[in-house]
Amino acid sequence: MYKIETQLTADAIDSLESLLQEIEFKSNDIRPGVNAPEIMSVYTHAKWYDWNRQQKNTFKNAFGDHINTAVVGWFITFPESGFLDIMDYWQNLPSAGFVVAYSLTDNNSIKIGNDSVILQKGEGISFSLKELHEVSAESFERRWACVMQLQ
């Protein structure tokens, strides 16, 4: 189950894209999916814990009301052929957060449960981390801006 979110404004997209140029990305955390250890996800990320106050505020201002309950924000980039393996880590945990993810590139696809959703730049989606989710490999780079909320 997922929800399509209100589209970001052009100013919010511009702010996030500018911020992407200022921050340092790291190779992915070890977050094994269903197919680990044979297959490990390929992506880079930058979390707001590593940003200065101005950068964090720029990110927060782009998210509007979603930021009021956010515990962490981050960018995630999937390079050409990058992917997120099927994530089932939170599926049986008593509590799990919700992700609000905004596409910063066109034709950004995510699979949640049995549904594949394609988002264009500025479009957003939210879902519980208890839902199986994955991002398949593509022949082009994809970027997302995300927050996790505890509800």
Number of domains in the chain: 1
Report helix, strand and coil shares of the chain as percent, to nearest 5: 20, 40, 40
Question: What is the chain's pLDDT, residue by residue, as a tens digit (151 residues)?
Answer: 899 999 999 999 999 999 999 999 998 666 678 998 888 999 999 999 999 999 999 999 999 888 999 999 999 999 999 999 999 988 888 888 999 999 999 999 999 999 999 999 999 999 999 999 999 999 999 999 999 998 6
CA separation for the pair 130, 30 (Å, rounded): 18
Asked if residue 77 lies in contact with residue 25, where contact means CB atoms within 8 angstroms, the answer is yes
101 has which bridge partners?
A: 125, 146
Instruction: Give me the domain span that covers residue 117.
Output: 2-149
Tokens of 97: 């957060």
Structure confidence at residue 89 (pLDDT): 87
CATH code for position 96: 2.60.120.620
Q: How far is CA 18 from CA 5, 21, 43, 45, 118, in A?
A: 22, 5, 20, 16, 24
Phi, psi of 106 (to 5 degrees): -80, 155
Contact between 17 and 62 under an 8 Å Cβ cutoff? The reply is no
For 49, counting Cβ atoms within 10 Å of its Cβ (0-12 exposed, 13-18 middle, 19+ buried), the class is: exposed
Residue 33 confidence (pLDDT): 87
